[in-house]
Amino acid sequence: MKILRFFIALFSISAVCTGMCSQNRDGGISESMLSRIREGYKETPSEKAVRNALAGQSIALLAVNSDNASMIDTHFSDRVPTKGITDQRSSGRCWLFTGLNVLRARMIQKYDLGEFEFSQNYISFYDLLEKSNLFLQAIIDTRNLKLEDRKVDWLFKNPIGDGGQFTGVSNLIMKYGVVPKDVMPETYQSNSTSEMRSILSNKLRQYGLELREIKPSDASARKEEMLTDIYSILVRCLGIPPTDFEWTRYDSNGRFVSCKRYTPKEFYGEFVGTDLENNYVMVMNDPTREYYKTYEIEYDRHVYDGDNWIYVNLPIERIKEMAIASIKDNTAMYFSCDVRKFLDSSKGTLDLANMDYSSLFGTDFSMDKKQRIQTYASASSHAMTLIAVDLDDNGAPRKWMVENSWGASSGYKGNLIMTDEWFNEYMFRLVLEKKYVPADVLDLLKKKPVMLPSWDPMFLPED
């Protein structure tokens, strides 16, 4: 009987294998199919020329549309006054530079300052410390789940990074305040973060495994010891964040105004003072999800005891109305988009007509915004500061401009100009003061948000 069962099992395995092998052969590229594919390509002089060109040049350069070579008109009907261009260098801190640029534009206007920057390094220090705590506490919270669980797997895959979004700006500044850039300037490691990020990631993974094994009653005390080590690494890389400092204020003509000692929170309270956690709303245009609903992303925050990323999903035209109202009131906004799509970096323009990939490859690329998101072809990748719009005689936008954080020599005087058509296709997120948000949109925030998983591709940290 055992021998009979053995042969029955062997026959079943063989049948399954035969079925699978047959299925694979039917779906593979056969010799006859390959022959037809080869015959479908016709070598012509123009095809040879394209092949030769692609062998020695970048696709983006060869796809440049010569019919769109002229520069976009750089006049804007409405523009928020700003001074100076920042540079995030080789770091993923666009979200932080953008948030601080919004605040510095307000401070420069209000106090008639010359060029001024907040210290990005100061906030970066506490961002990385808080993210370390967020990871370690999340490991403690999920220690009863298997290591292979999707949530635990995601945590170990993404223990820390220097990317982020607006809740990081709001929670960190309200908790730690701000300091001028000359009080805590950039370091090599803050400007070029990959090595530091790798060291921190591996150390946190090591600590994470340990926390999953120790007694629950010992986890909190051990986590504090681990964070003390992380703090020491950050001090070595970024410097010691000041607890108080002296700052001399000069006006835009270089005249002395005052000299005073501040704590970082006192400095923020005196020169900015806005409640970032309760006075701002994030809106988003994501056609893959239902409009006029509020969404929340689990674990997508910078501070464990802070806020998850919450946004209202809206049609693009509603977002434009709010953006125009803010710009007309001289208020810059946190803005994010898929910046590398159809970017002409030499001119500093984002225009669907910048590149002609269809002519270069002889095929169409016709997915719409919803399809690009669904197939991982597009997502928000970079945050910038929205500062200008050009309106036609009917009040409709023709183009927009953002202040970037890639240095003054990049783009158009450090800025990027986008056509309204590009805005429709590749703009994703905007953060506005509540006074520019209509009541019906604010009402949506009173409803319980739909919780989304942290690994959703639309919600990767912006860098």
Residue positions annotated with a catalytic role: 94, 382, 404
Angstrom distances, CA of residue 54 to CA of 38, 58, 61, 87, 239:
20, 7, 10, 32, 47
C-alpha distance from residue 292 to each of 396, 431, 447 (Å): 23, 16, 11
CB of 419 within 8 A of CB of 92?
Answer: no
Helix (H, G, I), strand (E, B), or coil: what is residue 5? helix
Contacts 24+ apart (CB under 8 A), 228-234: 229/203, 230/128, 230/129, 230/132, 230/200, 230/203, 230/204, 231/129, 233/196, 233/199, 233/200, 233/203, 234/125, 234/128, 234/129
Phi–psi pair at 237, nearest 5 degrees: -90, -35
Diameter of the chain measured on Cα atoms: 101
Q: Hey, what are 178's tokens?
A: 């701000």
Pairing status of strand 343-344 against strand 349-350: antiparallel
Alpha carbons 101 and 80: distance in angstroms, whole number: 12
Pair 382, 339: CB distance under 8 Å: yes
For residue 240, CA distances in Å to 93, 125, 203, 236 come to 19, 9, 20, 8
Burial (CB count within 10 angstroms: exposed 0-12, middle 13-18, buried 19+), residue 33? exposed
Q: Which token pair is 147?
A: 């290591």
List 458's β-bridge partners, or say none: none
Type and span of the H or E element at 133: helix 120-141
d(CA 370, CA 377): 10
Distance CA(366)–CA(362), nearest Å, equals 13
Question: CA quadruple 141, 142, 144, 147: dihedral positive or negative?
Answer: negative
Q: Is 292 left (phi over 0), alpha (psi -120 to 50) or beta?
A: left
In Å, how far are 126, 170, 313, 364, 457 from 431, measured between CA atoms?
22, 11, 12, 34, 20
